[in-house]
Structure 1
Amino acid sequence: GLVRGQPISVEDFLCFPAYNNSCKKTLRPELEATLIYCLLSTITILSVVLNLLVIISIYHFRQLQTCTNLLLLSLAVSDFHVSSVQMPFQIFHYRGCWFLGDLACVVYYYSGFLAVSASVGNMVLISIDRYVAICDPLFYPTKITIRRVKGCIGLCWLFSTVHASWILREMLRQPDMYNTCYGECVVLVPNEIEAMFDLVGTFIAPIGLITVLYLRVFVVAVTQARAMRSQVTSKSMQCSRAKKSELKAARTLGVVIVMFIICSCPYYIFTLLNDSGVTDSSGAAELWLIYLNSCVNPIIYAFCYPWFRRATKHIFTLNILQPGSSEMNILWRSLELS
């Protein structure tokens, strides 16, 4: 065979030439392959660094440990999980060969189901948090407490762990049961009923709930914005600033949720239109679009949250190593609530 006039040897064509049942490589021009590797590696490194900054910021500065920010912290943990585990493994998948063995293949798929399910759960919790904050603000402090938020986050990760364990139960018992050649990493959902349940439970139902909640938030936010324009007294101005802070948080988190839906839809549509199998080559672009969302989230925070920029500055200048730095007034004089 030839690739643009260059002869192809058996070593170039097969993942493991020494094995008779070796999988075949996905052949690409060297320049194209190098550029794609560089792009994917850059996205991976950027995503790891940015999500780590979010985690350190909220975990270190006590002033940032609000109910909403704890949900953002949980989301950042799932995004960091994607960028530090899923993205590097997926780069190894790029040429169509799996060189890391069966155990790493199980870890790859298990962490993928876990992280995506946790991300969806976190998005639902964020939507509920904003719904109560905007639509029922008087009862927000009593309904949404730190203890309840931590409990919900724990349940979210517990459900995600159980979900991943159940979907991959056959693969956990026999890691290579779905492979058709040596050097392949494949998983299949056991049957169509479970595949549909997974699709509904981890995408259709949560996205539907998120959409309904945020449509309600949008309607109430518009009404409140109009009401604030007519308030002129000193007391009403203070309330107005507080409401504006909540509305700003709702808008920012709304952007996060919209980007999540945009990045997730192509992959789930691809899965729905094809079959329940997930291979190292099928839907690669759609899968990377989901992973890209893990890099987009902290970028949104950087543009929309001044506290994130200030916290990042303190981290890079090593001010967080100073005694008592966790008590620093990272919000300054602003009324940021998240």
Structure 2
Amino acid sequence: MTSSAASCLLFLRMKALEEAELCFPQLLNSSCRKAMRPHSESMLIYIVLSSISLLTVTLNLLVIISISHFKQLHTTTNLLLLSLAVSDFFVGFLMFFQIMLIDGCWLLGDLMCILYYVLDFIITSASIGTMVLISVDRYVAICEPLHYPNKVTPKRVQVCVCLCWICSAFLHSLLLNNNLVQPGRYNSCIGECVIVINYIAGLADIVLSFIGPVTVIIVLYMRVFVVAVSQARAMRSHIAAVTSQRTVKVAPKKSEMKAARALGVVIVVFLVCLCPYFCVSLTGQDTLFNASTAAFVICLFYLNSCLNPVIYAFFYPWFRKSIKIIVTLKILQPGSCQTNIM
């Protein structure tokens, strides 16, 4: 083989290698480069994240079907769990798109990129809003048990949940307006999926969507914890005494206390998984989200959405029973919605 032929072959090999590292090999001058990693590592990441995504969608779909189908589960607290399950379901669905960004390439175009982030923002905000509503629900149930049936009605809960989702969609449509008007305006190359938020607008969003709601959640649950502890001490100290009828009526039900513990675990896990998401948002002159900076925090948030149904299964016997009925297809039988689940 002549030296010129060898040089030509080497050039072709180098060019092929260079093209293999591009998101769009046919666009040599404008395509983004792929994030190169060992094949075994890439396969492991794909398998793990795909499994979490599928599990998240499946488990939360079971929660949605259970609460929607069985009439005995149509309580005010479960309506809030239904809203949370819907947001978690969409989180698992969006995770399929996040998997595409593992190698640093977005193949669905600029419009789908901005829609992906808009949905991610809306779902995140709606989840936090639902957590606030859950905290208010438990606060009234534990601290004001006599007023709970009058203050927390199914109609009011439905209105609050709808307002939570509508406000989240409206606010984040305004927040991402510049990105929506011209999708891909901040991309430096084809195959990148990036949005940029003005620092002041981003800071206001963090205060309204995270710091404020989290403060409310912590304050309310600290109050619930203090009241629950004081009531438990009072019950232990007077266990052998004859209590008045009024004292018995004022004390919250055992089921309410159990629900408070279960939902407290949900909220703690939620905050632990979500805090890194907003910590990343506070860095830099502009709030910049792309595949490299958001992958870890978004996947952590996705994991939380998978954990919520697991927590329900651990604390709520009705969820385990409803899963058995759904999996065995007994839910298809006439009158199954009237089944005794509790």
Match of 2:217 among 210, 214, 218: 210
**Aligned alpha-carbon RMSD (Å):** 2.0
Task: Write the mapping of 1:1-338 to structure 2, written as runs, cut at 5 A.
Answer: 9-19=17-27, 20-84=29-93, 86-189=94-197, 191-229=198-236, 230-231=238-239, 243-274=253-284, 275-331=286-342
1:108-137 alpha-carbon deviations (Å, 9 max, x no partner): 111101100100100000000000000111
Q: Which amino acid counterpart does residue 146 of structure 1 have in structure 2?
A: P
In the alignment of these two chains, the number of paired residues is 324
The 1-side partners of 2:317 and 2:243 are apart by: 26
SS at match of 1:99: coil
The 2-side partners of 1:241 and 1:217 are apart by: 13
1:5-60 alpha-carbon deviations (Å, 9 max, x no partner): xx880232111121111111111111111111110001001000000000000000
CA drift of 1:292 comes to 1.1
Gap change, CA 1:320 and 1:151, over 3 Å in 2: same
Gap change, CA 1:158 and 1:148, over 3 Å in 2: same
The 2-side partners of 1:118 and 1:93 are apart by: 24
Larger Cα-atom Rg? 2
2:70/2:336 contact within 8 Å kept: yes
CA drift of 1:62 comes to 0.6
Gap change, CA 1:205 and 1:240, over 3 Å in 2: closer
Structure 2 residues without counterparts, runs of 5 or longer: 1-13
2:62/2:323 contact within 8 Å kept: yes
The 1-side partners of 2:92 and 2:249 are apart by: 40
Runs of 4+ in 1 over 3 A off after TM superposition: 231-242
1:174-228 alpha-carbon deviations (Å, 9 max, x no partner): 1111111000111111x21101001111111111110000000000011111222
1:228/1:240 contact within 8 Å kept: no
Structure 1 residues without counterparts, runs of 5 or longer: 1-6, 332-338
Q: Which amino acid counterpart does residue 72 of structure 1 have in structure 2?
A: L
Identity, % of aligned positions: 56
1:222-254 alpha-carbon deviations (Å, 9 max, x no partner): 111122232456997986996221111001000
1:54/1:76 contact within 8 Å kept: yes
Gap change, CA 1:239 and 1:329, over 3 Å in 2: farther
The 2-side partners of 1:36 and 1:133 are apart by: 43
The 1-side partners of 2:53 and 2:295 are apart by: 15
1:63-92 alpha-carbon deviations (Å, 9 max, x no partner): 1010000000001001101111x2011000
The 1-side partners of 2:175 and 2:155 are apart by: 30
